[in-house]
Structure 1
Amino acid sequence: MRFFAAAVLLAAVSVSSVAAQTKASVFPFPYEVVQLENGFRAYLIKAGAPGQIAYVSIVRTGSRDEVEPGKSGFAHFFEHMMFRGTAKYPHYDAETTKMGAFRNASTWPDQTAYYLVANTEYLEKIIDIESDRFQNLKYAEPDFRTEAGAILGEYQQGAREPQRWLNEKVREAVFQKHTYRHTTIGFEADVRAMPNAYEYSKSFYERFYRPENVVLVIAGDFDNATARQLITKYYSGWKPGYKAPPIEAEPPQTAPRDVTVKYPGRTLPILSVNYRAPEWNPTDKTGVALEVLGQVAFGPNSALSRKLVLEERRVQHLLPAFGLSRDPYVVSVQAMVSDPADVKAVESEIAAAVKRFQGTPVDAKLLADTKSSLKYGFLMGMETAQDVAFAVMQVIVATGRLEPVEDYYKTLEAITPEDIREAARKFLVDTGRTTITMVQEG
């Protein structure tokens, strides 16, 4: 019987090794892929400090997946519930504290991520605990209601934070159909109704916490053969059944939108200029060029930033946000303006910068320096095992795999000044622009 059990395990898993330390590869660490028959995939990355591992479970579900009316905020809510325990391990926090593990989680529009950092000696215990809560989470309705109250408190605590207030107003103005319209914490009415959604919460877990929708990254110092065996042992019994939700596409924008919102507190004016953007795609040259454009046009080393922030001091900060998302979203430039009377003039400066990049190819040296900075910022940011796991999260969320990271940096390397101009002409257009000006109330 022992031989038969071993044969079943071997049939349920495929393993491929990738020698990442080659001259042609950007990702600097060797890794293996463990693929189970139920759709579960794990990446085993040898990196980081001796004797330590980072264990990151990436659920490819975030607030974008909350398609049912009245149920926004449940991905974030479930992040909290996942710490409630199981029949086998009813006290999750106590179990992980015994190991001296650092643990946390975060929810974003496109994903929910759970992570632990601990000593390598606890590898099997961590795999046991984590696989168990992803398959057998258990909580009673009173516990659910208690957590729902905590979520409402979190919502109320941050409701008047200026950046969150602005983020909500941007989403409301940009999106009419797509679920990016709501933030990860959800609409207030939905958060207030959460205590009555106990049965729905169980269905959310059953639908989205499935092996095909979760990718595990283990980075650190561990034995690959042992990790493969343990992953197969603890995750092979997880029943598949994930079905992607029907997320409605946002209709094309056909005219500029200009909105002024009043913030109920003290703040300098904040100008947020947003342009409709494509989904993240590692081989889309124009999309990758758009991400680079954000840095060369509006980043800290850009001519506009030097002028407005350092030389003239008309702007407290100029912040580009040109990272792309799993679905078409927006890229944005945000400026906190020192003098309320100067807002329109600053807006004109941003528009003029856009026109310059649409008309004139970017300086070749500036482009080369920016591409180098982006590439080596990625590489130098992977100091710890946790850093390594987090560095590959975007590509895993977008594609379900780590391997396309190589495609992305090949595309980045090939970007030319003409590609930057084409991205500006294609995406930074007035018909796709939404400008939000947030001013102090009263």
Structure 2
Amino acid sequence: MQRLLPLLLLLLAPALPAAAQARDDVFPYALKTERLPNGLTVVRVPFRSPGLVAYYSVVRVGSRNEVEPGKTGFAHFFEHMMFKGTKKHPEGERDRIVASYGFDDNAFTTDDFTVYHAYGPTAGLDALIELEADRFRNLEYAEPSFRTEALAVLGEYHKNESRPELKMEERLLGTAFQKHTYRHTTLGFYEDIKAMPEAYAYSRSFFERWYTPDNTIIFIVGDFDDAAVMKAIQEHYGPWARKAAQLNMPTEPPQKEKRTAHIDWASSTLPRHVLAWHTPAGSLTTPSAAIQSVLAAYLVGPTSPLYKELVLEKQLAEFIGSDFYPHRDPHLLNLIATLKAEDNRAAVDAALTRAVRELASGKVDAARVKAIQSNIRYGLLMNLEAPDDVGVQLALYAGIFGTPDALSRHLQNVSRVQPEQLVAFARSYLVDTNLTVLTLTPANGGKQ
């Protein structure tokens, strides 16, 4: 799967009307939350969408959980295997039933969690609940099917490595991280993917350890009968009885000096330049995630002086931005530039560095900070036009922060960020000893 999370988390749109801005509760829809005795959290969100419902299952397992040497890529692999079937619904039957109702049905994997989602008619909701509960409880696949899908995952890697982004991510993470599992991508290390067909027994244990009710949150958004939904949920998910494994997460040691990494890209593309600093984990009880969300937009967002200078006026860069989003453990805040030519690299690097140092010196535009806060907070809410929009945003933030109301609480934290907090954060974390610089130079030198 392509990593769409940064785009989904950083949706920007015009501000909401003043009446909506005045709400104390920044999320406009009620969450009805119940935790079953087995630990499964079920969240229902009534939404005016006659005849339509979105169904999101968030499993808090991602590439972060892959701590065993030689066993990376399995969180993503299970995104594939979860569509294989069960004894009750053999391979292909679930797809046929889902398609017969007209559901859109898919999944995606991230560093920290995996999401399964379906969107379609309420008339098929009872059938969908039974199908989803069955595969989460009773997934079955034979070793030949496992081997076939493992080869498909290897093919997915080969497809992705033809683009610069995968190799850039691999090199950046492998340079910035020495111990933590964030040092590999969601796809996993290439050697581990090649060896995956021989790991059938391990795959079964991975499923048993992480696909558990106490590690899963379900969001149901749209037009449905709440009592009937909860009755079906309790009937089909109630017998699910596994418990999530305990994880001994390796701690990343502090970085003590600037690191660099370079890629010579064999084919024609534009040069790339990335600055990345280690920053704190996402949390709803501290301001770090909210500060970084605002800070990324402040430094390189489309309203930033840097964007105006480098992209619009001097045209040294095709694009500047950041794909920052919060992580469960300390990760990276990055600034990314796609250069129009290799000759522009020094000037772009100098401009990015200057902007960071100016902020750390105390120079901050309070009015622009406030505008960015409004755009992040209300712009995202303006995009909640359909049950599927609501479901995906709730799922993404719940996957990161581990609580159903994470989206609302994060947006509240964003609204509380003060300009001086950006300055203090830059002084503490955006320093050279904490920095990794990644450069990519294409074979043509970036000349198009």
Class of the TM-score when normalised by the shorter of the 2 chains: over 0.9
**Residues 207-231 of structure 1 deviation map (CA, whole Å, 9 limit, x = unaligned):** 1111011110111111111111111
**Residues 405-436 of structure 1: CA deviation (Å, up to 9, x unaligned):** 34323322222211111121122111110001
In structure 1, the partner of 2:66 is: 66
Q: How many residues align?
A: 423
Pick aligned residue for 1:430 from 429, 432, 441: 432
**Deviation by residue 1:346-371 (Cα, 9 ceiling, x = unmatched):** 11110000011111342221111111
Does the 8 Å contact 1:274/1:330 carry over to 2?
Answer: yes
- Counterpart CA distance in 1 for 2:181 and 2:245 is 17
3-state secondary structure, aligned to 1:169 = helix
The AA in structure 2 aligned to 1:78 is: F
In the alignment, the residues of structure 1 paired with residue 271 and residue 401 of structure 2 have an alpha-carbon distance, to the nearest angstrom, of: 38
Separation in structure 2 between the aligned mates of residue 338 and residue 48 of structure 1, nearest angstrom? 46
Q: Which of residues 412, 415, 427 is equivalent to 2:414?
A: 412
Instruction: Tell me if the contact between 2:261 and 2:437 (Cα under 8 Å) persists in the aligned partners.
Output: yes
Pair 1:106–1:404, CA change in 2 (3 A): closer
Shift of 1:393: 2.2
How far apart are the structure 1 equivalents of 2:393 and 2:265?
35
Stretches of structure 1 lacking an aligned partner (at least 5 in a row): 1-19
* Aligned-partner residue type, residue 53 of structure 2: I
Would the aligned equivalents of 1:48 and 1:383 in 2 still touch at CA under 8 Å?
A: no
Q: TM-score, normalised by structure 2?
A: 0.91
Contact 2:270–2:338 (Cα < 8 Å) also in 1: yes
Q: Which whole-Å CA distance do the structure 2 matches of 1:285 and 1:191 have between them? A: 37
1:24-39 correspondence to structure 2 within 5 Å:
24-39=24-39
Q: Distance in 2 between matches of 1:312 and 1:214?
A: 49
Contact 2:143–2:200, Cα closer than 8 Å, also in 1: yes
- Secondary structure class of the residue paired with 2:322: strand
1:41-60 to 2 correspondence within 5 Å? 41-47=41-47, 49-60=49-60
* Farther-moved stretch of structure 1 (339-348 vs 395-404): 395-404
Quick one: distance in 2 between partners of 1:49 and 1:21?
23
Give me the whole-angstrom Cα distance separating, in 1, the residues matched to 2:256 and 2:238. 49
CA contact (8 A) 2:47 2:221 kept: yes
Shift of the 360–439 alpha-carbon distance from structure 1 to 2, 3 Å rule, reads: same
> What's 1:323 paired with?
325
Offset of residue 337 of structure 1: 1.3
Could you tell me which amino acid in structure 2 is paired with residue 416 of structure 1?
Q
Choose which of 237, 240, 262 in structure 2 pairs with 1:238.
240
Residues 63-102 of structure 1 mapped to structure 2, 5 A cutoff = 63-90=63-90, 91-102=93-104
What RMSD in Å do the two structures reach over aligned CA positions? 1.7
| Secondary structure of the corresponding residue to residue 29 of structure 1 | coil
**SS of residue in 2 equivalent to 1:418:** helix
1:140 corresponds to which residue?
142
Q: Please report how far the alpha carbon of residue 22 of structure 1 lies from its aligned counterpart in structure 2 after TM superposition.
A: 9.8
1:109 aligns with 2:123: no
CA distance in 1, matches of 2:23, 2:310: 41
Letter in 1 for 2:154: L
> Once the two structures are superposed, what CA deviation does each residue of 1:176-234 show, in whole Å capped at 9, x if it has no partner?
11111111111111111111111111111111111011110111111111111111111
1:286 Cα deviation after fit:
4.1
What code does the residue aligned with 1:357 have? Answer: L
Give the deviation of 1:48 after TM superposition.
5.1
CA offsets, 1:259-297, max 9 Å, x none?
A: 222122222210011011111112322442222011011
Structure 1 residue 21, shift from structure 2 partner: 12
1:1-400 to 2 correspondences below 5 Å: 23-47=23-47, 49-90=49-90, 91-400=93-402
> Is this contact kept in 1: 2:217–2:404, CA < 8 A?
no
1:386-416 deviation line (CA, Å, top 9, x unaligned): 1101112233113321224343233222222
- Letter of the structure 2 residue corresponding to residue 418 of structure 1: E
Further displaced range: 241-250 or 351-360: 241-250
Q: 1:114-149: CA deviations, max 9, x gaps?
A: 111121111111100000000001111111111111
Asked if 2 retains the 8 angstrom alpha-carbon contact of 1:29 and 1:47, the reply is yes
Identity %, equivalent residues = 38
Higher relative CO (Cα under 8 Å, sequence separation at least 6) belongs to 2
Q: Hey, what's the Cα distance between the residues in 2 that align with 1:52 and 1:116? A: 11
Q: Residues of 1 paired with 2:109 and 2:293: CA distance?
A: 23
AA aligned to 2:419 is P
CA contact (8 A) 2:284 2:401 kept: no
Aligned residues of 1:324 and 1:331 also touching (Cα < 8 A): no
Mapped partners of 1:33, 1:247: distance in 2: 29
Cα separation, 1, equivalents of 2:103 and 2:417: 42
Against the structure 1 CA distance between its residues 98 and 371, is the aligned structure 2 distance closer, same or farther, given a 3 Å change threshold? same
Q: Is the 8 A contact 1:275 1:428 kept in 2?
A: yes
| Equivalent position amino acid for 1:242 in 2 | A
In 1: Cα distance, 2:216 partner to 2:324 partner: 26
> Kindly tell me: are residues 440 and 430 of structure 1, through their superposed partners in 2, closer, same or farther at Cα, counting changes over 3 Å?
same
Q: 2:12 is matched with which residue?
A: none
